[in-house]
Every structure is written in C-alpha cells, then in structure tokens.
Amino acid sequence: MRTDTVKEFNFTHADFERVRGLIYKRAGISLADSKQEMVYSRLARRLRATGINSFATYLDDLESGRMAGEWESFTNALTTNLTSFFREAHHFPLLAAHLKGLHGQGPLTIWCCASSTGEEPYSIAMTVCDALGSLAPNVQIVATDIDTNVLATAEAGIYPAERVARMDPAQVKKYFLRGKGAQEGMVRVRPELRKLVSFKQVNLLADSWPVSGQFDAIFCRNVMIYFDKPTQRRILGRFVPMMKPHALLFAGHSENFLYVSEALKLRGKTVYELLEAPK
C-alpha cells in the first residue's frame, strides 16, 4: 500500500515554475516537468539553512536581494555534478593522439568547462602527462564550473580511495598519494598534476568569461543537455573563435552538436572539429 509522505514545506506548482524561470535566467538550465521532486529536495535544504519556512518567501527574498550570497547557493543546489575519473573513456586516447601530433608547437591549451569535483580535468592532465612522457609538460589546463562548492573540492584534489578503484593501479601509484593515519582511505592528486590545472568559476551564460585565448581542445561534456537549443547555439557560437584551426571539441555521449552549430563537423564519436578555420 502506498502512503504519501507529508512534506516539510508546501511546494506548489507555481513555486516550481518560479524556480524554473529563475534558474533558466541565471544559469541557462532548462528543468523538465519531471524535476519537481528533485527541486523540492535540493531547495528544502536551503530553506532549512536560511531559517525560512515557505518557498514563496524564500523566492521573494532571493529575487529582492535580501539574502546576500544566496544566489550562489541557489545555483549550486540545482546544479547536477555527476562525474568520475576517465568517464566516457573513448575520448582520452583521441586526446592523447591529438596532443602527440601537436607536441613541440608551443604551450598546449585545454579548457574543461564543466570540471565538477575535478575528476575530468585531472583525467585530462594524466592523459597529457602519459602522452607527452612528462610530469611537467608544456600545457595549460583551465577547469571551470558554475558551482563554487565543487570547485573547492576539485582544487583540493582529495578523494575517497574508491573513486580511483577502477583505474589502472600503476596509474594510481603514479598520480596519487595515499592517505595515512587520519587520512586512511583517501587519496590526493600529486602536486605535479595539480600544478597543471587552474580552476575558475564560469557561468557559460555570462556576458563575458574569465577565460581567454584559443584552445587546442575544449571539453564540454554533459553540459548542453541542461540547455535549450537557442542557448546551446549561443554557447557553441562563442566556442568557435576560441578554438585553434586544428582544435577538438569533446561532447557528452547523449549530445549532438551538428544540429545546433553549422561551424562544426564530426571527427569521431562525440568529438567535433571546425568545419573550416575561423576568419
């Protein structure tokens, strides 16, 4: 027999629609109708943290600016951060081959624009080191995310040991330090690897990004699925001039950029390159 659980806070469909509108305007995230329970669960924590007992009041205070800094917490709460080391593993041999072909052409530049808790940019860094045979390759990796909480985790580079359990043991030994004593059961990314990655907060919907220059590779994986088509087109349009003529753009397994951007062509499985060099 099913029994409905009484919710701690009243959460109406109108409240949900307000949240949808606010997070779309703030971060470009397009929430489906099916996400109402998820939104309630995540934002209920913010109501408890702020001592507010009504979603309507919370959203009123948020929009009025009466809660300094709450926009960041609101956005962080609704950002999904699912990641792992070498997720979508087929991309990394392609990246390695790409970088080997560019070796010696000056500093290599890579942008990971949804770094989450750091597993993806550190996987990129390990791939670079293995491909170029050095723990100090001439590479600059920029790792960004909208969520400040996950960026703090990423910058620390400390993870439960089970996060690396599926990796090659030799690779774990090469790139991680195992914790002892109070840190037993934890691993930390080696300093040499951490030095290769710089972390920054970036909202892809912002008018300007604190990221400049052109890149040899851009990882934008499992990000576009949260945006509607006009937003996808706008972001991809901003990526194009930031790609060197030979650059690769890596997408997530369920993302297809061919129907969004006319400037890209498919290079391999969810890997894109410029149709022609930007003028």
Active site residues: 42, 145
Q: Which amino acid does the sequence have at 39?
A: V
- Dihedrals phi, psi of 123, to nearest 5 degrees: -65, -40
Give the integer Cα–Cα distance in Å for 248 and 257.
13
- The secondary structure of the chain in percent helix, strand, coil, rounded to multiples of 5, reads 45, 20, 40
Which residues, other chains included, contact 26 with Cβ-Cβ below 8 Å and sequence gap of 6+?
71, 74, 75, 203, 205
Which residues, other chains included, contact 224 with Cβ-Cβ below 8 Å and sequence gap of 6+?
232, 235, 251, 252, 255, 257, 260
Spell out a b/e string for 70-96, using b for 16 or more CB atoms within 10 Å of the CB, else e: beebbbbbbbebebbbbbbeebbebbe
The answer to whether 82 and 90 have CB atoms below 8 angstroms apart is no
The answer to whether 273 and 118 have CB atoms below 8 angstroms apart is no
Alpha helices in 51-190 (DSSP H): 55-64, 70-77, 91-102, 119-132, 148-156, 169-175
Residue with tokens 């022609």: 276
Helix (H) or strand (E) holding 43: helix 36-50
